[in-house]
Structure 1
Amino acid sequence: MSKARLAALLAVAAVVAVVAACSSPPAATPAPSPTEPAPEQTTEPPNPYTSLSSAEKNRRLIAAATRGRTTEVGQLLDAGADTEARDSRERTCLLLAVTHDRVEAARLLVDAGADPDALDDRHDTPTTWSMSSTTPTSPSTTSTTSGGPALLEAVILGRGTEPWERIVKSLVDHGADVTIADRAGVTPLQHARRHGFVTIARLLQRA
């Protein structure tokens, strides 16, 4: 092949390469990835009791514990209400909750650190409280039985059912003194056995 013919072929090949390069589609630009939506931020409603005075928080905690308003009890505790706030008869919130069968409110107070062994000003009998209260209680005790600590109230005024078993366990777990007896010298364990509360008696015996 002559040099002239070879040069012509090379020239043609070069032109074909240029034309092919010009006619090829441009490289595709990657599509931008869709922007992920920002996670929704859930904000809790403000605590309605935060701005109250300490005295007002405590007053409302006493009322809420007595009536068994557990949501309000929790909010007041979060707002700084005193777990040892007392009514005019020196009964603590925990003692009032137990006396009025407010089991869940009592558990909240115990979990918040309420003293399970706190006494009132007169060591009133559970019978006296049950007669003056509109909340039905059971079982009744003799007039010589002295009330006081929440554990005694939970055994004497409670019904021995599963919710009361849980509150007794919670009180014991948080350090309630199972040896504190009533005025007649009857301990919580003896009361539990007397009323046939087998599970509660077992909890107290193991404490």
Structure 2
Amino acid sequence: MRRFRTAVMLAAGGLVLSACQAGPAEPQAASSSPRSAPEQPPTSAPATPPPLALSAAEQAQLDQEVIAAAKANNAPLVAGLIGRGGNVNAKDAIQDSAFLYAGAEGFNEVLRLTLAAGADVASTNRYGGTALIPASEHGHVETVQILIAAGVPVNHVNNLGWTAMQEAILLNNGGPRQLEVVRLLLDAGADPDIRDPEGRTALQNAERLGFAEIAALIRSRS
């Protein structure tokens, strides 16, 4: 009996000792998913400040720089000057504007810049001609296409009494580029029956100068 009580007391003591050695219960682990931050409203890019207003003298100087850059066929400079407020319709002392000169000389990159900047397609040079007339005279085929698409009048008569078609025939060699220019003008509605100061039509001038292909083309459209 004494041995039984002793065994019970030893067992109870072991239980107490085990409870004392055990550490405190670990706290419950916090949630591993972080709380999402509130979305911030998008920020807009700062507005580009408007160009500073120029005095009349400054504007006139800028406009002349545009013309000079166009005459040099410097498209990047023309673009920069237009961006600063340069006027592509302003003229110099001999009545050339950036638009008129680029059209006459076939500077197509500059020409497109002036058109995008609001060039007056009906404006005229010192001879009373549109940009299309000298472009046709010089046989600038792509330039003629650009100008026709922009709405330059195809039947305008300059101070010399010539249309674009008459100049294309009278002032060049009647070669393939001139033939294509005449074709483009006819396609755009140019009238070959408008007479020059001598009373001749475009067909009569083509025949007189021996430009058989141009004459045949005009006859086919009559």
Q: Does 1:155 align with 2:165?
A: no
The 1:169–1:160 alpha-carbon spacing in structure 2 relative to 1, beyond 3 Å, is same
Q: Does 1:84 align with 2:133?
A: no
Paired with 2:88 and 2:202, the residues of 1 have a C-alpha distance of: 34
CA shift for structure 1 position 52: 3.1
Q: What does residue 179 of structure 2 align with?
A: 165
- Matching residue of 2:220: 206
Partner of 2:211 in structure 1? 197
- CA drift at 1:162: 1.3
Query: Could you list the runs of 4 or more consecutive aligned residues of structure 1 that deviate by over 6 angstroms after TM superposition?
Result: none
Deviation at 1:100, TM superposition (A): 4.1
Aligned position for 1:104: 142
The structure having more radius of gyration, on CA atoms, is 2
Structure 1 position 201, deviation (Å) = 1.1
CA distance in 2, matches of 1:189, 1:67: 26
- Assess if the C-alpha contact under 8 Å between 2:88 and 2:98 holds in 1: no
In 2, Cα distance between equivalents of 1:60 and 1:153: 22
Higher RCO (C-alpha 8 Å, min separation 6): 1
Q: Give the corresponding residue for 1:94.
A: 132
Q: What is the alpha-carbon distance in structure 2 between the residues aligned to residue 111 and residue 162 of structure 1?
A: 21
Question: Which residue does the alignment assign to 1:64?
Answer: 102
Cα distance change of structure 1 residues 157 and 89 upon mapping to structure 2, 3 Å threshold: closer
TM-superposed CA distance for 1:101, in Å, is 4.3
TM-score, reference length from structure 1: 0.59
Percent of pairs identical after alignment?
31
Paired position in structure 2 for 1:27:
none
- Which amino acid in structure 2 is aligned with residue 157 of structure 1? L
Deviation at 1:56, TM superposition (A): 3.2
1:53 to 77, 80, 87: 87
Equivalent position of 2:191 in the other structure: 177
Correspondence for 2:19: none
Letter in 2 for 1:104: E
Aligned to 2:20: none
Secondary structure (helix, strand or coil) at the match of 1:166 reads: helix
CA offset at residue 154 of structure 1? 0.7
Q: What amino acid does structure 2 have at the position aligned with 1:111?
A: A
The 1:164/1:101 distance shift into structure 2, 3 A limit, reads closer
Residue ranges of structure 1 left out of the alignment (5+ in a row): 1-44, 125-146
RMSD over equivalenced CA pairs, Å: 2.3
